[in-house]
Structure 1
Amino acid sequence: MRFPLTRRAFAALALGACLAGGALAADAPRVKLATTAGNIVLELYPDKAPKTVANFLQYVGDKHYDGTTFHRVINGFMIQGGGYDPKMVEKPTRPPVAHEGRDAYAKGLRNQIGTVAMARTNDPDSATSQFFINVADNKFLDPTVKEYGYTVFGKVVEGMDVVNRIKAVPTGANDVPQTPVVITSATIVK
C-alpha cells in the first residue's frame, strides 16, 4: 500500500519540479526590438550569463539601441546591430563587460539559429553594446578549450520571420545593408 502512495508523491514532486522550471523560464526578462522590418522579442538568460544580460539591459534602459541599425548582415551567418546609427556613426559605449562565453556554454547556451550573442573584437573581454542574432548554427563560434568563443545570452522568442527578412536584405561594402534596417526602439517588455 505504501508503494503507490510513494509513486504518487514522487509524481507530484516531479510535476512540481517541471512547473518550477517553467516558472523560471517564464521569469526570464524579455526585450522587444521594434525595427523598420518588424518586431523581434528576445528572451534573456541572467542565470547563464548574468553580467552580459545586465550589460544588455542597461543599454536598453539607457535607450542606447534606439536609432541604431543592423549594420552587418550576412545571410547564412548572422545579423549584427547595436553600435551604429543609419549614417554609420558609431555610438559611444560604456567599458566592456567580462567575457562569460565558457560559463554560458557550460550551462547549455550555443550559437544556434535564433540565439543572441555579444559581438566583440579579438579580445574576449571587449564586448560593449553590439550583439548579433545567429541565422545559422554557428558551432565554430562556441567556446572550446583553446578559444573563448562568443557569449550567448538569449534567444529570439518572437519575430524570427523578421530576422529572416533582415538576413535577406541586399548589402554592399562591409556587409552593410543598402537600405538601413533601424532599431527604432528597444524596450523591456517583461
Structure 2
Amino acid sequence: MRILLTALCWLLVSSAYAIGDGSEIQPADIFPRVKIETNMGNIVVELDRIKTPITTNNFLLYVTRGSYKGTIFHRVVKDFVVQGGGYDKDYNAKPTIRTIFNESGSGNKNEMYTIAMAREKDPHTANRQFYFNMNDNPSLDPGRKWGYAVFGRVVEGTEVLDKMADVETHTAPELGWTDVPKEPLVIEKATLLPQQF
C-alpha cells in the first residue's frame, strides 16, 4: 500500500512537472518574442514577463508545443479586435491546458496593437485564445470590474493586422457566430524567437 501511494504521488508530481507553467521556457528572457505566421503575413509580438508572468508563460506553453498551428482568427471586429487561437479551420475547439489567473491589473492597457487574453464572463477563465487590439479599447481595461489581460505588443506586422481587420465577415451559418471572416485567417505557425541579448 505504501509503495502504491508513493508511486501515485510520484506520478502526480511528474505529470505536473511535465505540463509545467511555461516559466522554464527561455527563463532568463523577460521580453520573449514570438513570430506568428499567417496566410496574410507575419506578426511578431514582444511579451511582458515582468508585468504578466502567468499569462506570458501560459502563451509560451502553447507556442512551444505547436498548439497554434492550423488555428484560425475566428472573430474580427473592425476598429476593435482580431481574435483567435482557439479553433481549427472546421471550428473545432482545440485542447486547453488550464485556465489562468487574470492579470488585467498589471498596468498594461488595451491599446492599439497590443495582444491580450480572451476569456469568458468569469474573470479567471482565459486559457489559449488571444486577441489583438485594433484600437485603444479602454472598455476592456479593469476598473470596478476585472478587465482583459494585456501581455505584450506587436513589434512587427501591424500592416498584416490592418489587412486582417478589413476582411469581410459574416454570421457563420453552421455556428450562428457573428463577425466570422468569410475567408479563413489561418495561423500557419507560431514560433518562439531566439533570445535577444
TM-score exceeds 0.5: yes
Written as runs of structure 1 = structure 2, the 5 A alignment for 1:10-25 is none
The residue that corresponds to 1:51 in the other structure is 54
Structure 2 residue 180 is the aligned partner of structure 1 residue 176: yes
The residue that corresponds to 2:13 in the other structure is none
Moved more, 37-46 or 90-99: 90-99
Q: How many residue pairs align between the two structures?
A: 160
- Partners of 2:126 and 2:30 lie apart in 1 by 25
Written as runs of structure 1 = structure 2, the 5 A alignment for 1:23-102 is 28-102=31-105
Structure with the higher fraction of residues in helix conformation: 1
Structure with bigger gyration radius:
1
Q: TM-score, normalising length from structure 1?
A: 0.82
Shift of 1:70: 0.5
The residue that corresponds to 1:164 in the other structure is 162
- Partners of 2:119 and 2:101 lie apart in 1 by 11
The residue that corresponds to 1:133 in the other structure is 132
Q: Structure 1 stretches (4+) deviating beyond 2 angstroms? A: none
RMSD: 1.0
> Would the aligned equivalents of 2:115 and 2:151 in 1 still touch at CA under 8 Å?
yes
1:185 to 184, 189, 195: 189
Shift of 1:27: 5.5
- Partners of 2:48 and 2:192 lie apart in 1 by 14
Shift of 1:100: 0.9
The residue that corresponds to 2:175 in the other structure is none
- Partners of 2:74 and 2:35 lie apart in 1 by 18
Shift of 1:188: 0.4
- Partners of 1:114 and 1:130 lie apart in 2 by 16
Q: Secondary structure at the match of 2:127?
A: coil
